[in-house]
Amino acid sequence: MGTRFIATKECVHANELYKQKLVEGTENDTTVIKRTLGMPARAIANPLTEKILEIEKQGGGYEDLKTLISGSANRKYIYEGDDENGFGWAGQVMGLIKDSPTVAELFGRIINEAEEIRTKWGR
Ligand X SMILES: Cc1cc2nc3c(=O)[nH]c(=O)nc-3n(C[C@H](O)[C@H](O)[C@H](O)COP(=O)(O)O)c2cc1C
Window contacting ligand X (CB under 6 A); options: 11-19, 90-98, 105-113, 115-123: 90-98
Q: Does 92 bind ligand X (CB under 6 A)?
A: yes
Q: Does 91 bind ligand X (CB under 6 A)?
A: yes
Helix or strand (DSSP H, E) at 33: strand 30-33
Q: Are the beta carbons of 76 and 82 closer than 8 angstroms?
A: yes
CB-count exposure of residue 2 (10 Å: 0-12, 13-18, 19+): exposed
Decide: is 67 part of the binding site for ligand X (CB under 6 A): no
The yes or no reply on residue 2 touching ligand X (CB under 6 A) is yes
Q: Which residues bind ligand X (CB under 6 A)?
A: 2-3, 39, 41-42, 89, 91-93
